[in-house]
Structure 1
């Protein structure tokens, strides 16, 4: 890739996407809280089908995201003294497993929207766009595993170190896009699609993530008594 474009895509674009993600989410919260919903169309589909599709999708995508965050942006494997090759094998196995799980669930959701006219009519363009975009991003990520596996079999974890150094520089506002200049194109395309998810986030139903009631995990227990009738 041309060094100039490499610098734009991996030195400037991540901050642009991050800014839109943060500012857009705040503006949606301030001016469009009524739109913070999944716009569920589950009532228009088979309950069992939706249970499988939704659970596979959400479980898979959450574990994929958590794996990226923990594996690349936290030193937990270093604290546990896990060798780099073992770390990469764990990332490869978990990423492939949960990526496939999410892909199956996502394709089921996409098919439901495509083949059921009532579901399609109840949805919005942004719903279809973000679902397709996430599926393509997942597909690209699974595709990179075909590059990762031969390297792992040789004990080569150079690309893992490159990703970590790049991401650490990015989050500390010292980006070094030159680290990625010789990386396989498939990795770069996957990264760009992933960054664009954050760019699209405020304009889609993904904002309902912010409504997850995490306070339920830490609040005190409440005793509920039924009212006695005379």
Structure 2
């Protein structure tokens, strides 16, 4: 759901009811994902603190990284902001502050499509770099490959749902179905009925996002939940020469130091 609300409003019909599969997908699976996400991070921090890193490969190659990394992070930040606005904030709140449905739709779809393209382009550059640069490819783990595959799937499905529903099609208002379902999960009152009539691309995007959050704690994505706050308070690092006399007197002229 890279884009925002849409021109046409589609709400679940009155006789729509969730079956067993819908309950498993939209009630059970979200809570399993949350449990794996939380407990996985606790386990990772306790048993793999030294592996809690981005595994930077900048020393191996920097030209493509300087292009792909900012492009990806800029796009993913816009995508995250769009999802917060579309999933967390109810539509009645935006209407209460004077943002019309049409205005929200135009801004959300435009920025969402732009953000999705930027994210996908940056990710493509990073994957190309990781595959074609020998040292970077050698440092790529199986978890890295899984992360890139799932992340690409999530972005492609989200961008496809936006383009198909809001640009190529007549529009779909996921803020009346997917968004209330998303909030209902955190209210501990999950409503699977809201997801029954949701278009397939939106469903696949949501399921791929749940998969991403399941693998998140076991990949380099953990670095997104940390900040180098310790650098602000840690003591200075003091470097000392092995020769205690160096630093207390000027070195002698010549090729090597002679005893005074």
TM-score by length of 2: 0.75
1:197-219 CA-to-partner distances (Å, cap 9, x unmatched) read 11111110011112224799xx9
Q: 1:43 aligns with which of 40, 47, 59?
A: 59
* Count of matched residue positions in the alignment of Structure 1 and Structure 2: 212
8 Å Cα contact 1:41/1:123 also seen in 2:
no
The answer on 1:175 being equivalent to 2:187 is no
Mapping of 1:1-230 within 5 angstroms? 3-45=19-61, 47-75=62-90, 77-145=94-162, 146-149=164-167, 150-152=169-171, 158-213=173-228
Counterpart Cα distance in 2 of 1:85 and 1:174:
30
Where structure 1 has 5 or more consecutive residues not aligned to the other structure, the ranges are: 220-230
Larger radius of gyration: 2
What RMSD over aligned residues (CA atoms) do the two structures have, in Å?
Answer: 2.1
Counterpart Cα distance in 2 of 1:109 and 1:177:
37
- Structure with more of its chain in helix, by fraction: 1
8 Å Cα contact 1:36/1:211 also seen in 2:
no
Where structure 2 has 5 or more consecutive residues not aligned to the other structure, the ranges are: 1-17, 233-260
8 Å Cα contact 2:158/2:205 also seen in 1:
yes
Counterpart Cα distance in 2 of 1:71 and 1:215:
34
1:32 deviation in Å?
1.5
Cα–Cα, structure 1 residues 44 and 215, in superposed 2: closer, same or farther, change >3 Å? closer
